[in-house]
Structure 1
C-alpha cells in the first residue's frame, strides 16, 4: 500500500494535485488506517495516471469524470476525438514555429516571397529603411486580412515602381523625412506628386490611380502605421490635400462636391500644379 506522496510520485503528479482530484470527485479517497494515514493501492495509481494524461491533453475535469465512468467503446471514441484535436493543434503549432523561424530573417514574417522581393527592390533603389518598414507593416496587415488579393496588389506595385518618376518620389521623400514641416523639399515633393497624380488620372482614368479597394477601417489602420513610422508622412498628406489629393494607403481626389470652399492658397497650389502638368 502506498502513501499519498508515493502515489503522487508513481503517477507523476504533486500531492496537491492528488488532493485536488479528491476534492473534484475524480479519485476516490481511501479510508485512513489505524495510524491516521490514507493508503492507496495499485488501482489508484492507474486511475491517477489516466486522470493526469487526460488533464494534460486539455480535457476539462468535468469531462474527465465522465470518461472515467464510460464503457470501453465510449472511452475509445472519446480518446479518438482527443487525438484528432491534438493533431490539429500540433499542425497549428508547427505553422507557428515556421512563422517564428521566419521572424529571425525579418521581412519574411507572414509575407509572401513576391512582397519580400518588392521590399528588397525598394532597398536596392536607396529608399529610406523607415519607408520600407512602413510598407512592410502595411503588407503584413494586407496579407493577414486578404491573402487571396496579395498577388493582384503586388502586381500593381511592381508596375508602379517600374515608373522612374514614382521611384524618384520615394527617394525624394527619403531625403525629406527629417525636414521640418514647411521645408521647401517637402513642399516641392507635394507639388510634384500632385501634378503626377493629376496627369495619371487624366491619362489613365481616376480608378487607375488607386483601385486597391481596401476597406476603410483597414486603410485607416495602415495610414496610422505609416504616420507613426515615417516622419513627415502626415505633413506630406496635408500638403497633398491642399493640392487636390489625399491619402497614403489609398490615394484619391479631394471631394469638393459638397460645396467646401477652396482657400486662396489651395487654389493657387492647384493652379500651379495644372500649369506644370500642361507644360
Structure 2
C-alpha cells in the first residue's frame, strides 16, 4: 500500500494535484488506516495516471470523469468533441497573438484596422505624434459610437488626403500642436483662412449637410470638441472662424 507521496511519485503528479483530484471528486479518497494515514492501492495509481493523461491532453477536468466511465464509442465521440473545442481555442489564441503583434508593432489600441491604417498615412506626412494620439483617441470614441459607419468614414478620410489642402491642414495643425502654450497669431490666421476655404468648398458640394447626418449625436460632438478645448491656439483659430461665420470643430456649421 502506498502513501500519498508515493502515489504521486508513481503517477508523475504532485501531492497537491492528488488532493485537488480528491476535492473535485475525480479520485476516490481512501479511509484512514489504524495509524491515521490514508493509503492507496494499485487501482488508485492507474486511475490517477489516466486522469493525468487526459488532463495533459487538454481535457477539461469537468469532463474527465465522463471519459473515465465511457465505453469505446462514447469515448471516441467525446474526444472528437473536445478536439473541436481545442481547435477553436487555438484559433482564438492565434487571433490574440495577431492582435498583440499589431500592438507591439506600433498600431493603436482599441481602433479598427481601417483607422490604424489611416493614422499611419497621417503619420507619414510628418505630423507630430502627440497629434496622432489625439486623433486616435477621437476615433476610438467615434468607432465605439458608430461601429457600422467606420469603414465609410475612413474611406472618406483617405480620399480627403488626396486634397493638398488637407495635407496642408495636418501640417499646420501639427505646428500648432507642437507648442500648446505658444501664441502665433500669423499661424492661427493662416489656419483659419485655410479652414474657411475648405468649409466653403464643403458647403458647395453638400458635404456639410452630409456630416450632420453622419455625426447626428450632439453629445458625442460635444465630447469630441472638448478634447481640443484646452489648447490655446485651437481656441484662437475657433475665434477667427467664428468671425468668418463658422462654428463648431468636430462638426462644422454656418453661424
User: What's the TM-score, normalizing by structure 2?
Assistant: 0.71
Q: Which residue of 1 aligns with 2:74?
A: 74
Task: Give matches, 1:1-279, under 5 Å.
Answer: 1-33=1-33, 35-52=35-52, 57=58, 59=60, 61=62, 63-107=63-107, 112=113, 118-138=118-138, 151-177=151-177, 178-180=179-181, 184=185, 187-188=188-189, 191-192=192-193, 194-207=195-208, 210=211, 213=214, 216=217, 219=220, 223=224, 227=228, 235=235, 239=239, 242=242, 243-248=245-250, 251-253=251-253
**How far apart are residue 194 of structure 1 and its match?**
5.0
Mark the runs of 5 or more structure 2 residues left unpaired by the alignment: none
Q: Answer whether contact 2:108 2:136 (CA < 8 A) is retained.
A: no
1:93-126 CA-to-partner distances (Å, cap 9, x unmatched) read 11111222232321377764x7556434433433
Q: Answer whether contact 2:7 2:40 (CA < 8 A) is retained.
A: yes
**How far apart are residue 165 of structure 1 and its match?**
1.9
Moved more, 115-124 or 139-148: 139-148
Q: Answer whether contact 1:200 1:209 (CA < 8 A) is retained.
A: no
Kindly tell me: are residues 201 and 126 of structure 1, through their superposed partners in 2, closer, same or farther at Cα, counting changes over 3 Å? Answer: same
**How far apart are residue 34 of structure 1 and its match?**
5.5
Kindly tell me: are residues 58 and 175 of structure 1, through their superposed partners in 2, closer, same or farther at Cα, counting changes over 3 Å? Answer: farther
Name the CA distance, whole Å, in 1 between partners of 2:217 and 2:53. 48
Name the CA distance, whole Å, in 2 between partners of 1:145 and 1:9. 57
Mark the runs of 5 or more structure 1 residues left unpaired by the alignment: 255-269, 271-279
Moved more, 236-245 or 72-81: 236-245
